[in-house]
Amino acid sequence: MITSTPPNLQSKDAPEDSWETWLQSPPGQYILQSEQLLFNQAVSDVFGYHALQIGLPQMNTLEENRISLKLMLLSHGASQSSGELPYQSIEGLPEELPFANQSIDLVVLPHVLEFAKDPHQILREVDRVLIPEGRVVISGFNPASLWGLRQYMGRLVGHAYLPTEGQFMSLLRVKDWLKLLDYSVDRGHFACYRLPLRKEKNMARMAFLENMGNRWWPIFGSVFLISAIKRHAGTRLVGRVPKRALQAIPQFNPATQNTSQHTTEQV
């Protein structure tokens, strides 16, 4: 069942064609609920001390994670319109994360890269704040899907299905970016196989496509989720270092050396 976004997470000043407004629609709610399950699986086994979600306060991507200190980074002014958030919020820019180097164990980017002006800079900042062996989880729309096709056709006729400010990128493109940063992808998922409709009743009738799509055409899901681990070279404990006694160094005695030299000269 698709439910509407809670009032405390809606912004009264959001434009009608904005990403925030689209999330309140039946397709938007369908995406949020479907991705919630994906994030729950992706972060449940990630441990550490600090976890960070960047943007999208309409969804708690860290709900199933056991890290004690969870943070949410919101753009300036967004926290006032988001109401009560599931964990502590911090204002800032994803291109300039207000965190020290190698201080975060887990970073989640729900639909952040595709709505950013400089997604490469965001990934560089994420790389900076992640600890070695830290994890980043990214979600986005899949352009190689029925939703992506309708979005492309809708742009041509002036009736886009998804928010027009988004520049949707393929999973392969995101994987290439992560590979350049020396990350290894450990898991990936596609989801959301219903037709790109607008009314809740019509979308509900397409529920049978979920199992069929996941089995027969999984790579054509409307959204993707990818999880990667930072593999930068660094100091690592590879085992117990065996104890070994150091050789004794003879003490230097100036008086003894002078006496030895004086005796040699006399001889």
Alpha-helix runs per DSSP H in 158-229: 171-180, 200-205, 209-216
Kindly report, residue by residue over 132-175, the tens digit of the pLDDT. Answer: 999 999 999 999 999 999 999 998 888 899 998 888 999 999 99
Distance CA 5, CA 174 (A): 29
In a domain, 93, yes or no: yes
Kindly report, residue by residue over 202-237, the tens digit of the pLDDT. Answer: 999 999 999 999 899 999 999 999 999 999 765 444
Element (H, E) at 34: helix 26-43
Are the C-beta atoms of residues 226 and 171 closer than 8 Å to each other?
yes
Q: Phi and psi for 88 in degrees, rounded to 5?
A: -60, 135
Q: Which two tokens stand for residue 79?
A: 């926290």
In a domain, 261, yes or no: no
Distance CA 74, CA 20 (A): 13
In a domain, 215, yes or no: yes
The parent domain of residue 61 ranges over 21-234
Identify the segments of the chain with pLDDT beneath 50: 1-14, 80-81, 235-238, 241, 246, 248-249, 251-252, 254, 256, 260-267
Total domain count, the chain: 1
Question: What CATH code is carried by the domain that includes residue 186?
Answer: 3.40.50.150
Please list the residues that pair with 71 across neighbouring strands. 52, 88
Please list the residues that pair with 264 across neighbouring strands. none
In a domain, 15, yes or no: no
In a domain, 180, yes or no: yes
pLDDT at 83: 57
> How many of the other CB atoms lie within 10 Å of CB of 4?
12
In a domain, 258, yes or no: no
In a domain, 145, yes or no: yes
pTM, rounded to two decimals: 0.81
